[in-house]
Structure 1
Amino acid sequence: MQDAAQRLKTLAEQLVGAPLPVRIRAWDGSEAGPPTAPALVVRNRRALRHLLWKPGELGLARAWVAGDLDVDGDLYQVLDALAEFIWERDDNARSLRQSLRDPEVRAAVRSLLALSAPFLPPAPPPEEMRRHGRLHLHTKGSDRRAISHHYDVGNDFYELVLGPSMVYSCAYWESPDGTLEDAQRDKLGLVCRKLGLKPGMRLLDVGCGWGSMAIHAAREYGVSVIGVTLSQEQAAYARKRVAGEGLTDRIEIRVQDYRDVRDGPYDAISSIGMAEHVGSERYLEYANDLYALLKPGGRLLNHQIARRPQADESAYSVDEFIDAYVFPDGELAPVGSTVALLEKAGFEVRDLESIREHYALTLRRWVASLEARWTEGQRLTSPGRARIWRLYMAASALAFEHNRIGVNQVLAVKTPETGASGLSLRTRDWRG
């Protein structure tokens, strides 16, 4: 009898206390749910074992990465429909505990256990970051391993997703109909203008990626740039690009931790999409180090994703899927916390610009690029890795659109004792 889908739907609705807004399609060919809705495809019993052995987001992630769980239809529509069940984890955990007191729900769980047989723990997908506790976060060694996990997955794969700009951070859009290349160029130009770059200045680009900011600043503004990254693959790619642009006399790319940079002072520092890797326990150290590397009057442009503040900050926990598969040890903080720590380090914060909607547009373009060349993307990395990137970028686009997370450019100055910041009286003249 082909009834697995209906049994799964019934159990899920009992647990969450609401009708499922998507169809369920099971491995036995059965379907249940709204006939015109996109389908959540449970390809095999192993998907259930992932969920039963690791209930919650990590179990779902493992089933997705392994290819045991899939979507037939618009991925954004499915994620949007399931958002309240995926992201409102505290409410869901409470609802689950309450539901399990119901004898009917307990009976349904027993039915699910029988449906998932043989009840053996499935191995996590090989793309999952292996760790031994979280006691020693953000040491130089652990940061190097985390960065390698995320970035050393193949430059060709990133080229496919990011396009020729090779910029892996929020673009700056004039309109939703613009090109990704133009929007990324405009973002780099905006950063350079906010930093007040002029010929002869020294710029430190922290987390320089594949060298795009360094090349733009040196070529368009005549500055000398030191770019630092922990990724060997990024550094090799960036050096090749620098040589191709004929800028080796003005740009040096190093595989180096920002904490080991000792050749200041610099006129300006750009940190674009890097500070999310620093961690809350190390953030003041990060701010202090960058402050020390700037000359008096020097500027920092800190471009960073932020989360919404919680009523109980002590209860905040990292996203299990992101931590295991995307950005190991990454942490998001409210923008107010970031500004406070920059000020505590001595910076004068002069401008904050939220560009949240811009990141949603950027991510949707990256997802479209990956989906358009899906077979090639899987070949360039691995099927599991391609599935990770598609899911996390699509889910992140929705998170930005719904204001669950944001992204901000914070301009801070190491204001000298004279109080002369060096900024124009009409600060936002940099908009051009």
Structure 2
Amino acid sequence: MSDAAGRIATLAKEVLGDPLPIRVRAWDHSETGPPGAPTLVIRRRRALRRLLWRPGELGLARAWVAGDLDVEGDLYDALERLSGLLWERGPATAPRSRLRTGIEALRDPALRTAARKLIALAGPGLPPALPREEARTGFGPLHSLRRDKKAISHHYDVGNDFYELVLGPSMVYSCAYWDDGPDATLEDAQRAKLDLVCRKLALRPGLRLLDVGCGWGSMVLHAAREYGVRAVGVTLSEEQAAYARKRIADAGLTDQVEIRVQDYREVPDGPYDAISSIGMAEHVGSVRYAEYTAILHRLLRPGGRLLNHQIARRPQPDEEAYHVDEFIDRYVFPDGELAPVGRTVTQLEEAGFEVRDVEAIREHYALTLRSWVANLERSWPRAMRLTSPGRARVWRLYMAACALSFERNRIGVNQILAVRTPESGTSGLPLRARDWRG
């Protein structure tokens, strides 16, 4: 076979209706495409077999994770150029719609011809083995205790050293708060976020704080050290818990802070004066969200505050057709779901909360993700040693693509402050809007 790159580019134009906006280099060293553009490197014909056996995003993701595909040049630029052709064009998203579209494609002579050309390019072969980094959460009810624990382990139990490399010394795996502008350091921005949460919750010495999904303990450490609270952090990750406990012991705060490997549904010792949930609610799922809000409401004392920090997606014209991103579901957050912020506010109110403030900080997450990607790329060989080449590739693609999604307003992130307002109606919040000193 010769000029594989040219044949691939021609086939892509026939299928997509537009020329590929990046260069292509194939396994036979042939190359084509616009000069100066990032280059999609197809290292092995196996990448095309992955697309044959699983067309669309998941086939591409498997090829990327396995190293069959790569990008030379600016990854952000490549993703921007490809987004219009891949992630933003398909009208059919629901499983039933995708099936119907596939059946219609078999009736289309042009698409049948394109499929034969792809088969000729890909060569014979069975479906390639799945990358070992693909999640296997097993069967059973969605968001059961056992399945959630397995999903969390897939995402977080990949090595604390790897997360140290990506996140930096703060070990905060959620959106930072760049109140001093984009030139601030990641550490300063994460410290500002933790402090903002503490101020919104009106923490002070002697109060009891529950941090749901406490990660590596950064929030409870900051709240105990800077605000004098007694804190409990719960996580489903054994690795996170061990790391957080060591940090707490090193800080001399074991009398103030407790870390538990525990599901939020199993916390027995409310009420708490304040609850923080930072980047955890995305794991809850729509089938469990009413239960989540009801449990947090029950765990708060009357007058207590909840700070729910959560990624949100945009509402869809047909909400029943919404589907979870296949790459993220298989390789990043198994069983994770995003909801529009309006739905989250409604469900908090239905649980009995009074929602007092919603702060959108979408641009802050784009800056945070770009900082994490820079950390990863700066230490790329070490990152691959600490976890696996495939896992490092997952995180690089996931974080870069998410940075662009926040920048382009495809997804957002919000801090929602809610109060379990007592029957007297006294919320305890200051009259002045966003004066979090009260």
Same fold (TM over 0.5): yes
1:108-257 equivalent positions in 2, closer than 5 A = 108-132=114-138, 136-173=141-178, 174-257=180-263
Q: Distance in 1 between matches of 2:409 and 2:104?
A: 29
Q: Does 1:22 align with 2:22?
A: yes
Structure 1 unaligned regions, length at least 5: none
1:419 alignment partner in structure 2: 425
1:347-426 equivalent positions in 2, closer than 5 A = 347-426=353-432
Q: Distance in 2 between matches of 1:248 and 1:416?
A: 32
2:300 alignment partner in structure 1: 294
Give the percent of matched residue pairs that are identical in Structure 1 and Structure 2: 73
Measure how far apart 1:83 and its partner are.
Answer: 0.8
Measure how far apart 1:32 and its partner are.
Answer: 1.5
Measure how far apart 1:87 and its partner are.
Answer: 1.9
Measure how far apart 1:90 and its partner are.
Answer: 3.0
Relative to structure 1, the CA distance from residue 152 to residue 89 in structure 2 (aligned partners, 3 Å threshold; closer, same or farther) is farther
Decide whether the 8 Å contact of 2:137 with 2:147 is kept in 1.
Answer: no
**Partner of residue 310 from structure 1, selected from 316, 329, 345:** 316
Q: Distance in 1 between matches of 2:138 and 2:127?
A: 19
Q: Distance in 1 between matches of 2:400 and 2:62?
A: 17
Q: Distance in 2 between matches of 1:36 and 1:91?
A: 31
Q: Secondary structure at the match of 1:271?
A: strand
Q: What is the aligned residue count?
A: 431
Q: Does 1:332 align with 2:345?
A: no
Relative to structure 1, the CA distance from residue 95 to residue 11 in structure 2 (aligned partners, 3 Å threshold; closer, same or farther) is farther
Measure how far apart 1:171 and its partner are.
Answer: 0.1
2:95 alignment partner in structure 1: none
1:13 alignment partner in structure 2: 13
Q: Secondary structure at the match of 2:46?
A: helix
Measure how far apart 1:107 and its partner are.
Answer: 2.3
Q: Distance in 2 between matches of 1:132 and 1:14?
A: 38
Give a deviation string over 1:346-397, Cα, whole Å, max 9, x none. Answer: 0000000000000000000000000000000000000000000000000000
1:84 alignment partner in structure 2: 84
Measure how far apart 1:102 and its partner are.
Answer: 5.0
Measure how far apart 1:114 and its partner are.
Answer: 1.6
Q: Which amino acid aligns with 2:73?
A: G
Q: Secondary structure at the match of 1:205?
A: strand
Q: Distance in 2 between matches of 1:98 and 1:136?
A: 33
Q: Distance in 1 between matches of 2:265 and 2:311?
A: 21
Q: Secondary structure at the match of 1:86?
A: coil
1:51 alignment partner in structure 2: 51
Q: Distance in 2 between matches of 1:81 and 1:101?
A: 30
1:33 alignment partner in structure 2: 33
Q: Which amino acid aligns with 1:17?
A: G
Q: Which of 242-251 and 15-24 deviates more?
A: 15-24
Decide whether the 8 Å contact of 2:202 with 2:437 is kept in 1.
Answer: no
Measure how far apart 1:311 and its partner are.
Answer: 0.6
Q: Does 1:67 align with 2:72?
A: no
Decide whether the 8 Å contact of 1:41 with 1:69 is kept in 2.
Answer: yes
Q: Distance in 2 between matches of 1:97 and 1:77?
A: 34
Q: Secondary structure at the match of 1:280?
A: coil
Decide whether the 8 Å contact of 1:171 with 1:184 is kept in 2.
Answer: yes
Measure how far apart 1:137 and its partner are.
Answer: 0.7
Measure how far apart 1:74 and its partner are.
Answer: 0.5
With normalisation by structure 2, the TM-score equals: 0.96
With normalisation by structure 1, the TM-score equals: 0.97
* CA RMSD, Structure 1 to Structure 2 (Å): 1.6
Give a deviation string over 1:290-335, Cα, whole Å, max 9, x none. Answer: 0000000000000000000001000000000000000000000000
Q: Which amino acid aligns with 1:151?
A: Y
Decide whether the 8 Å contact of 2:231 with 2:256 is kept in 1.
Answer: yes
Q: Which of 80-89 and 275-284 deviates more?
A: 80-89
Structure 2 unaligned regions, length at least 5: 93-97
Give a deviation string over 1:256-275, Cα, whole Å, max 9, x none. Answer: 00000010110000000000
